[in-house]
Amino acid sequence: PSLPLPPTAALLASFAREYARVIKKPMNLREISHRLEKNGPGFSRIYKAPREMFDDVCLVWRNARTFNPKGHWICEQVDVLEEAFESMWLSSQIDVRWASANNLPYPEELVDAKKKKKIRAGGVGRWRRKMEAELQLATAEVQATVMSRLEGKWLCNPRNFGYITIKGNEGIYAGGVGRLTEMKVLRDECITALWSRSDIDGARGTLRFGLSVDGRSWKGNWTTYNGKPFGRWDATRVDDDGEGEEAEEQEEEEEEKEHEEE
């Protein structure tokens, strides 16, 4: 349980002894940050791969729930933090990028290996089941079908992204300075990709979006390179006859009229 304020020296000592008795493998976010700062071979001098860092973060959540009673405000805060962390981790696709860069098995294989170890330790958490489901790729046939529907010219929203032209598993946008690469279709038919901008130093991250049933639009979310949510990224298909552009211009005119009336 959390300490009352202000705690006395004797109470702190008693709390430390009790925590050490209950928690056999302590971990905290400050220590994880410290380990990440130690640059060296691999992911860092301490972590040789992103998944090792992921396991330490999950250890923080697990320890908090073990030491504090169910329903405690600390446990409630852990639920919020855990959900945010999982969302950013999955959006960043760091496992996929790490595996690709280092010629390693794709994440589902890494997850399976970790899963066996986790079962021996006492079960698999919902976060791992969620990760396995979301990172599994669609069949080759579905991949080909979805990617063929994506090919062509699209008008982006945010508007300053301009148009994006997709061919194969890559896309060019923002007048040629923006690129989408490593586009993949997941089992739920969502598409993931890496984005980057050559005109902005360090501007890169991930994009995850879903194609509409009629193939005329897609809606998604993009993140920065460290998994921080950045906002919506939608697009509308532009036909050779400019139909998409006309619809967009009409929408802009309607918005301008609404602003004028206000």
Model confidence pLDDT, tens digit, residues 167-179: 988 999 988 899 9
H helices of 68-206, where?
Answer: 73-92, 94-101, 107-121, 126-135, 140-150
Using CA atoms, how far residue 53 sits from 35, 42, 58, 64, in Å, is 9, 12, 9, 17
Omega before residue 158 within 30° of 0, cis: yes
Give the whole-angstrom CA distance, residue 194 versus residue 204. 7
pLDDT at position 250: 52
- Render pLDDT for 7-57 as a digit per residue (tens, 0 to 9): 677 777 887 888 899 999 999 998 988 888 765 555 566 888 888 888 899
- Render pLDDT for 86-132 as a digit per residue (tens, 0 to 9): 777 776 777 777 777 777 665 543 344 444 343 333 333 444 444 44
- Render pLDDT for 189-212 as a digit per residue (tens, 0 to 9): 889 888 888 887 767 888 889 999
Omega before residue 50 within 30° of 0, cis: no
Q: Where are the beta strands (DSSP E) in the chain?
A: 152-157, 163-167, 170-173, 178-185, 191-197, 204-211, 217-224, 229-238
Helix axes 126-135, 73-92, angle to 10 degrees: 20
Question: What pTM was estimated for this model as a whole?
Answer: 0.46
pLDDT at position 240: 60
Nearest CA-CA partner of 93 in 212, 194, 229:
194
Give 8's DSSP letter: P
**Who's near 182: CB < 8 A, 6+ residues apart?**
96, 97, 100, 169, 192, 193, 194
217 or 4, greater pLDDT: 217
145 or 262, greater pLDDT: 145
Structure tokens at 174: 């923002």
